[in-house]
Amino acid sequence: MNKKIEFIVEDLNNGLSKEEILKKYNIKKSSLQVYLSIAKKEGIEIKAREKAKPKYMQVVEDWNNGLPKEEILEKYNIINKNLQTYLSQARKRGIEVKTREKAKPKFMQVVEDWNNGLPEEEILVKYNIVKINLQTYLSKARKQGIQVISKEN
């Protein structure tokens, strides 16, 4: 069988919509129907749309299982905007999408390391900042009521 047909059927069975397949392979709807007809005649299983898991569902499963965002983006060859759209689609359909803790702001990470006794020079290198930035972060934390441990010079 034609490799192109095999790839199309595989993509369809993996949840790509017909519209996505038409675009991906630059084919017309009538050509897709012919390819699918050939595949069926050769005994190739083509999942009905309700059996094929939509891409957003696969993404949500990986998200809920804790796969790092960067790995999801790479695995599905999507950008962050697409990821957010998929998660939103799932929520709108009543599917649970686990929330993730957002990373602490950089200045909070710096303050945490400072308070934990990490030497100033190591902090500067770790966060690729200069001394004035460090002082700004510590000052910002103090203004927000966050305890900043004083260090002896």
Q: Is the pLDDT score of 52 beyond 60?
A: no
With the CA atoms of 85, 86, 87 and 91 taken in that order, what torsion angle do they form, in degrees rounded to the nearest 10? 100
Residue 56 burial (C-beta neighbours within 10 Å; 0-12, 13-18, 19+): buried
Q: Is the pLDDT score of 117 beyond 90?
A: yes
Q: Is the pLDDT score of 153 beyond 70?
A: no
pLDDT digits (tens, 9 = 90+) for 60-111: 888 888 888 888 888 888 888 989 988 888 888 888 888 876 667 788 889 9
pTM over 0.85: no
Side chain identity at 54, as an amino acid letter?
Answer: P
The number of angstroms, rounded, from the C-alpha of 125 to the middle of its chain's C-alpha atoms is 29
pLDDT digits (tens, 9 = 90+) for 18-51: 888 899 889 999 998 998 899 888 888 887 665 5
More confident residue, 132 or 1: 132
